[in-house]
Structure 1
């Protein structure tokens, strides 16, 4: 089985010494090379279920559209209106929820390799 690990090691705290509002902690990762054998010191199995991501708020959706280059400042509102008019999603309390049609559309795009 393949495992991955990551971390940061602070070699000089610099501005962290004077700016106490920013917290930072080290996660020390041993130096391993390809082919090295790793013997785990502690193995824990945890039972649980994954949780779906939270539904997007309007501000989250706008930020995501902006970050992925969908629309412009002038067209984002019309794109959001269109997904509601076509019943791909509904908006209640400022949170978007995909409809069955919206979920099916995304599944179909995934199936044909579009993202």
Structure 2
């Protein structure tokens, strides 16, 4: 877990910037999912191919497919009917957080 992260901060569930296991409580799962959706898809309504999103999520989570599914189930992310493309549909409380933007930049940079 991240040292020094405040109680309401979803980063407290990350280990070295990665989600190794999902939190137990529902509200914590929602918070972490919203946070990581903003990291993986920092630009609202910007479509990303399924493979690229899975690769981005793999950099920040142990179970990228489960996380992708959770993002869609929560309605933070939408997808095409065939699942070929995904995009973030909802602004989150993390959109203007400099730490999130820095992590997102690193995740996007690795896409090359």
TM-score interval w.r.t. the shorter chain?
0.3 to 0.5
Higher relative contact order (CA 8 A, sep 6+): 2
Give TM-score, length-normalised by structure 2: 0.41
Radius of gyration: which is bigger? 1
Give TM-score, length-normalised by structure 1: 0.40
